[in-house]
Amino acid sequence: MDNIMYGKFIVSDPNVCHGKPTFRGTRIMVADVLEQIADGLDWGSIIEEWRGSITKEAIAEAASLSRQAFVENVENYDLEPFAE
């Protein structure tokens, strides 16, 4: 299996992190950064935590691809209705 480029910053390499999507040139998994966003960390703090190995543009690409995947596949998710 070859490397897959999902965008300018996000790739999958079967030899890096078991092929999970990572930020190009790092072993930082996209899922970890998306979890940090979901936990409410601001992007500057995320960049600082990863010692500048990723950029705001890379995080924006991850968020955009995540949004796109959700919107295109929402009918396939088994989500509970939101109750206030």
pLDDT attached to residue 81? 80
- Which CATH code fits 4-59? 1.10.10.10
Joined together, the tokens standing for residue 71 give 């919107």
Domain ranges of the chain: 4-59
Q: Residue 11 is encoded by which pair of tokens?
A: 């790739």
- Residues 12, 3 contacting (CB under 8 angstroms): yes
Q: Kindly report the backbone phi and psi dihedral angles of residue 10, in degrees, each rounded to the nearest multiple of 5, phi listed first.
A: -115, 130
The CA-based angle 75-77-78, given to 5 degrees, is 115
Q: Is the pLDDT of residue 11 over 90?
A: yes
pLDDT tens digits, residue range 27-73?
999 999 999 999 999 999 999 999 999 999 999 999 999 999 989 98
Name beta bridge partners: 4. 12
> What is the pLDDT confidence band of residue 7, given thresholds at 50, 70 and 90?
very high
